[in-house]
Amino acid sequence: MFMQKKSLLSLFAAAAVTLCSLAAPGNSGNNIIEEVAWMVGDQPIYKSEIEEAYQQMLYEKTPVNGDPYCVIPEQLAIEKLFLHQADMDTVEVQESMVSLAVDQRLNYLITNLGSKEKVEEYFRKPISEFRAQMSDMMRNQYRIQQVQSNLTKDIKVTPSDVQRYFATLPQDSIPFVPLQVECEIITINPRIPQEEIDDIKARLRQYADRVNRGESDFSTLAILYSEDGSSVRGGEIGFMGRGHLEPEYAAVAFNLNDTKKVSKIVETQYGYHIIQLIEKRGDRVNTRHILIRPKVPDQELTAAINRLDSVRANIVEHNRFTFEEAAPVLSQDKDTRNNQGRMLNQANGTTRFEMKDLPQEVAKVVADMEVGDVSQAFIMKDPKRDRDIVAIVKLTRRIPAHRANLSDDYQTIKGMYENAQKQKMLKQWLSKKIRDTYIKIEDNWADCEFEHSEWLHK
């Protein structure tokens, strides 16, 4: 429980400091003393936590505005306040998200340090312990984000708010917008031979039979054969509602009842799956699956390239139709075909892309194009399905790098205003939370300049 009555907490805090000094977690049997630097409610912040965070900051070369030994404990204390609110709101996160984030982080560290052994040496702990620590950190991060989103969800922004905000911005605070482009795209999916599909289905039936007969463990087969990122977790994807799953997958997953049996083969846009139920919990279900993606033969890629080059010739050389007329009829990309091929940047909700935000194959082609040009056909990876597809693109606009203005960059400025309002609201919430919570800080931090002055004036 996160206790807030100071009379009770004063007693608890004193006891906690004594106990922590005598026997820190994980230090039984040695003489290492774990010192408490801060108490936030009933949650201690240990000096070792601060030091470890500082070492991590040094490794990542994270810029710090102020003394790290003042900034870090304040950040840790703020996290504890948000996590207390997450406990009160019973905020949960999908374990699949946590696992994916940890895997990405570990892969980054292994790549940069050279090996798993180097990672263990650098952080002075085995990979298993480091993974568990990272899982806790990422889980907390997602829970904090959800709390912050809940606290700021009612912010409303009008065009007049944005205009007034922009008018008050100092010139040096107006962001510099890099080169941006607007593009249209037509993509087609090369034909998958029936023999490839039949082979995939035969393999999946064999895996399902082995599990159903009790000869093999589903999670082991997923680790060995699944082509989805969840394979490292034995195919487990975590608890999800229907809206977070492909419709075809959800229709089968929510009808499973026997945790020892395997579903029929399910086809989605990502490929072919077999599914095993782990647990149902209300309107959410946790499953594991094996995914096999069909492979595109070279001859089918060549045929698709020839087809789109023919389409380009009809647009550019013969003027038989326009790119915008062809996209709704020919393109197999459902996200763009109903919008005359226009590509939408999901990150900002506009049709504008910085070059770094485009799929790398598209960016490479567009870099040398003039406005109005239509590219030759090229092969690219479908980012959703991890499968080769063929595309042509048209460059419709190139916006040179410039200082942001309302007419060209309204969405960017609106985002800045929304963020400023969210930060203001969160700061007000934190100030009140600090005042209402028992805080004890060791004298070593008395001279720190904190973002929230309430820490030292309670």
- Last residue in a domain, options 239, 274, 292: 292
In a domain, 187, yes or no: yes
Identify whether residues 355 and 317 lie together within a single domain: yes
CB–CB of 148/81 below 8 Å? no
Question: Considering the chain, what is the average pLDDT of its residues?
Answer: 87
Of 458 and 204, the structure prediction assigns the larger pLDDT to 204
Q: ∠15-49-118 over CA atoms, to 5°?
A: 145
The residue range of the domain holding 181 is 177-192+297-403
- What is the structure's pLDDT at 240? 83
Do 52 and 188 belong together in one domain? no
In a domain, 67, yes or no: yes
Task: Please check whether residues 199 and 314 belong to one and the same domain.
Answer: no
Highest mean pLDDT among 19-23, 221-225, 448-452: 221-225
Residue 20 pLDDT more than 70?
no
In this prediction, residue 15 has a pLDDT band, given cuts at 50, 70 and 90, of very low
In a domain, 157, yes or no: no
Residue 423 forms beta bridges with which residues?
Answer: none
**pLDDT tops 90 at residue 57:** no
* Beta carbons within 8 Å of 449's beta carbon, 6+ residues apart: 66, 67, 70
| Residue 74 within a domain | yes
Percent of the chain with pLDDT over 90: 64
Residue (of 98, 122, 112, 80) closest to 232 by Cα position: 98
Residues 322 and 184 in one domain: yes
**Band of the pLDDT at 33, cuts 50, 70, 90?**
low
141-145: average pLDDT: 95
pLDDT in tens, 59-100: 777 888 889 999 999 999 999 999 999 999 988 887 777 877
Beta bridge partners of 290: 274
* Choice among 20-24, 193-197, 445-449 with the minimum mean pLDDT: 20-24
- Please list, residue by residue across 146-164, b when 16 or more beta carbons sit within 10 angstroms of its beta carbon and e when fewer do: bbbeebbeeeeeeeeebee
> Which among 258, 292, 326 is the end of a domain?
292
Domain at 398, CATH number? 3.10.50.40
Q: What pLDDT digit, counting tens, does each position of 96-115 carry?
A: 778 778 877 887 888 888 88
Provide the token pair at 161: 């708010």
Q: Specify the higher pLDDT residue, 182 or 24.
A: 182
- The whole-number pLDDT of residue 283 equals 86
Q: How many independent structural domains does the chain possess?
A: 3
For residue 255, give both structure tokens.
Answer: 């009808």
pLDDT > 50? residue 25? no
187, 303: one domain: yes
The mean pLDDT value for 125-154 works out to 91
Domain-embedded: residue 347: yes
| 223 and 268 assigned to the same domain | yes
Q: What is the mean pLDDT of residues 321-335?
A: 93
3-state secondary structure the chain: CCCCCHHHHHHHHHHHHHHHHHCCCCCCCCCCCCCEEEEECCEEEEHHHHHHHHHHHHHHCCCCCCCHHHHHHHHHHHHHHHHHHHHHCCCCCCHHHHHHHHHHHHHHHHHHHCCHHHHHHHHCCCHHHHHHHHHHHHHHHHHHHHHHHHHHCCCCCCHHHHHHHHHHCCHHHCCEECCEEEEEEEEECCCCCHHHHHHHHHHHHHHHHHHHCCCCCHHHHHHHHCCCHHHHHCCEEEEECHHHCCHHHHHHHCCCCCCCCCCCCEEECCEEEEEEEEEEECCEEEEEEEEECCCCCHHHHHHHHHHHHHHHHHHHCCCCCCHHHHHHHHCCCCCCHHHCCECCECCCCECCEEHHHCCHHHHHHHCCCCCCCECCCEEEEECCCCEEEEEEEEEEEEECCEECCCCCCHHHHHHHHHHHHHHHHHHHHHHHHHHCCCEEECHHHCCCCCCCHHHHCC
Look at residue 147 and tell me if it is in a domain.
no
Query: Is residue 64 within 8 Å of residue 71, measured between CB atoms?
Result: yes
The answer to whether residues 246 and 336 belong to one domain is no
241 in the same domain as 186: no
Candidates 218, 201, 215; CA nearest to 290 is: 218
Mean pLDDT confidence for 320-330: 96
Specify which residues 185 forms β-bridges with.
393
Same domain, 306 and 182: yes
Share of the chain above pLDDT 70, in %: 92
CA angle 282, 148, 45 (to 5 degrees): 100
Is 201 within a domain?
yes
The verdict on 332 and 288 lying in the same domain is no
pLDDT for the residue 121: 87
> Are 26 and 74 in a shared domain?
yes
Output the six-digit token pair for 240: 């999800």
What's the whole-number mean pLDDT along residues 142-160?
Answer: 94
Residues 282 and 310 in one domain: no
Residue 132, domain member (yes or no): no
